[in-house]
Structure 1
């Protein structure tokens, strides 16, 4: 079978050579489907799993179609968050350099005056957030009438963040015959309706509906009481011991508390706030990428488009609000075929959410438990879909983990009632009557030792054998 190459898809030699420098030789499925249509100038509506290379799927043909000799704005890439826009900018600069394409960012949270001054360099490609771009357009410092291609990355998030008005306003300012590309891991009816309204002769690139998360990604969850979630998080991170972990939280008011508690137990953590300025967010992300922070505590703002190299673990400290958010959170790991682990920490009342996601996404989400330094599956603790038979329900199977590996202490409240206690019965302490009756000194000292050992004495003293 002949291997598909970027050159075979129509990518120019300078771009193909640049890709080879970074070890990218064979295009992913979404790239193989999107690139030829994009090079032809057709509109594209692409849905693909996170971590499958959607950025290069639209960026390579966009860069190739730009004429570097024309000092006018020809391409526009819109992203819902500052982090995703900065990440796209880095990729555009890296590959645009080989073609002589000038790229600039117009991102909210940065100094607008400085961005306007840089527009005098006449970039051919702009990457930005809709609000900032519309703001500069309103100031008449940016003209869109020469734009031939508009890309909207993570388009569903754009809708959720209320960016629809800005997006429609921006599209009205571009060429009537411009090319339009929408890309995301999830495409809802609202997006399809807008695509039908704005696109002409569109090409739809889809994925298997039953496989919306990477096949190299493992999904598990642990159950504990709400008050024990922080400690369970600590034990999970200590056990799996990844180089980096993203911890997702629903309520942004809790981010500071979780960050502080993780730092207190010796797990260096940084926080990513949606309302922080661009510089603070960029610094936190850079420290996380460099390994100075082991944990990144964030809301769903970090779930969109972030590509953290060698991210092997994400943890949902709070379950996502729906299956789409679960897909995007889990998609931060297990990217481009690499193995990854998505862990959720839920209370007994939240366990039904895992079953719901399992059914909606067609994935297996395994229930695990921590006990006595081991990670194991409960007797009937697996939820999900058996891919071999297509059936779903509770199953049992061996864990496949080395159950002798240390994982630290665990919350055992739910099993302690069925386990015999290992605490020795409290011996009867010596009494004054014993002393008066002539009890030998050695016997009285032995009684005192036993009494002291059972009143919260240190572990080393409890394990110390009594003297004869």
Structure 2
């Protein structure tokens, strides 16, 4: 299918698609829409930003129109499960746009806001409910939601569901659904756990996939600098004062880290706000609204909280903490340089984050420009890390102390050489430090 008009969609739906400015379907839409229109289950492997929402929304709306019936009290005809509030809201907004004027009622339900209003809406029955798993079970447990007549089930971002610990809620939801239904299941990756989960939701699914995005935007000027973790906050402040960005997104690995960045920026008169899972829904909406309107120029977010955020005009993306999954880097910097504009990404790489950068370079094939630290900053080590990251042999340095003595490197577990040590590796001390490094990475991931 080369045009949306080629799909066997109802005429009003095609009109809504055209009104939204879409003419050519994306690869995932080309693969998923035809079998979905036939009522088949779908197992889709696709990254965020590939057009998944339209891929499941358009054929589902077509089904609801062609098989129109009034939903009963506390019922929904179509259920969409999303991992975060922002993504749930974005999906609901998209489906409202696609079904505008067609007589379908679309609503969303998620935590962080009072549940009573959501109960009142569900009392009269809705055609489409977009919900997070936790709030969905709350509504069901309080007898405000009946899932016994769901005709279409969509599970979006299944891998993120598992990362957020939703595997148990999802397993509780399955028995509440009717056996006879159409199920559409989407995930960016397909590890064994996800595959087993899909088996519980799907029946003889049609598998569709889009290769993970591994290329970074050509108009993004990618820069990196090597810096001690303790100096990152100071460098961020200096960078903001120098660049004076219009709209800057700053990514951290943890919720605590995001709050700390905002607190330190605000302390020096730089207005910023954070968005992450510990913020209430009104707080998140206010921060995002202020960012869109230009009331604040800096929004600090974790990767999970940033899913579902769609903001135009982002001029800078800052990797305050490097992502430990290289594809996340592509997603992060892809939020700038949109609609023909150019953008800047700036990554602060601490000594224990060098491997993350190597993985990113390996995935993307792009070598970001290395920016030296400004005067007044201490280099993280005397090892020339850039050539090693970019596949060249690093230079060796003499162990002879320089003025002021050899630099301290808290990340080194070896002695005798600056930034290095004895050639022999292994032993209890090496294992202990490796274990501590692993625990730090796991803790950062768990707190995101």
Matched with 1:33 is 31
- 2:385 and 2:256 map into 1 onto residues whose CA distance is 36
The SS at the match of 1:42 is: coil
Q: Deviations over 1:57-86 (max 9, x none)?
A: 111112221148412221011111111111
Gaps of 5+ in 2: 376-383, 394-402, 405-448
Confirm or deny: 8 A CA contact 1:42 1:202 kept in the other structure.
yes
Confirm or deny: 8 A CA contact 1:50 1:335 kept in the other structure.
no
- 2:269 and 2:372 map into 1 onto residues whose CA distance is 21
Matched with 1:4 is 2
Matched with 1:438 is none
Q: TM-score, normalised by structure 2?
A: 0.76
- 1:272 and 1:298 map into 2 onto residues whose CA distance is 5
Query: Is 2:113 aligned against 1:110?
Result: yes
The verdict on how the C-alpha distance between 1:50 and 1:333 changes in structure 2, with shifts beyond 3 A counting, is farther
Matched with 1:77 is 80
Query: Is 2:252 aligned against 1:249?
Result: yes
Matched with 1:48 is 46
Confirm or deny: 8 A CA contact 2:174 2:200 kept in the other structure.
no
- 2:209 and 2:219 map into 1 onto residues whose CA distance is 20
- 2:197 and 2:337 map into 1 onto residues whose CA distance is 31
Matched with 1:148 is 151
- 1:202 and 1:278 map into 2 onto residues whose CA distance is 35
Matched with 1:187 is 190
Matched with 1:95 is 98
* Structure 1 residue 324, shift from structure 2 partner: 5.0
- 1:336 and 1:151 map into 2 onto residues whose CA distance is 30
The verdict on how the C-alpha distance between 1:161 and 1:380 changes in structure 2, with shifts beyond 3 A counting, is closer
| Superposition pairs of residues 30-429 of structure 1, within 5 angstroms | 30-67=28-65, 69-72=68-71, 73-208=76-211, 211-212=213-214, 216=218, 218=220, 219-237=222-240, 242-323=245-326, 325-333=328-336, 341-359=344-362, 361-370=363-372, 381=386, 393-394=391-392
- 1:221 and 1:393 map into 2 onto residues whose CA distance is 16
Q: Structure 1 residues 295-304 or 328-337, which shifts more?
A: 328-337
Matched with 2:420 is none
Q: Deviations over 1:251-287 (max 9, x none)?
A: 3223333113333455431111312221111111111
Confirm or deny: 8 A CA contact 2:77 2:128 kept in the other structure.
yes
* Structure 1 residue 242, shift from structure 2 partner: 4.7
Larger Rg: 1
* Structure 1 residue 144, shift from structure 2 partner: 0.9
Please provide the CA RMSD for this pair: 3.0
- 1:173 and 1:237 map into 2 onto residues whose CA distance is 51
Confirm or deny: 8 A CA contact 1:367 1:381 kept in the other structure.
no
Gaps of 5+ in 1: 374-378, 385-391, 396-415, 418-468
The SS at the match of 2:28 is: helix
Q: Structure 1 residues 227-236 or 97-106, which shifts more?
A: 227-236
The verdict on how the C-alpha distance between 1:299 and 1:82 changes in structure 2, with shifts beyond 3 A counting, is same
- 1:156 and 1:206 map into 2 onto residues whose CA distance is 15
Aligned length: 381
Confirm or deny: 8 A CA contact 1:214 1:331 kept in the other structure.
yes
The verdict on how the C-alpha distance between 1:154 and 1:197 changes in structure 2, with shifts beyond 3 A counting, is same
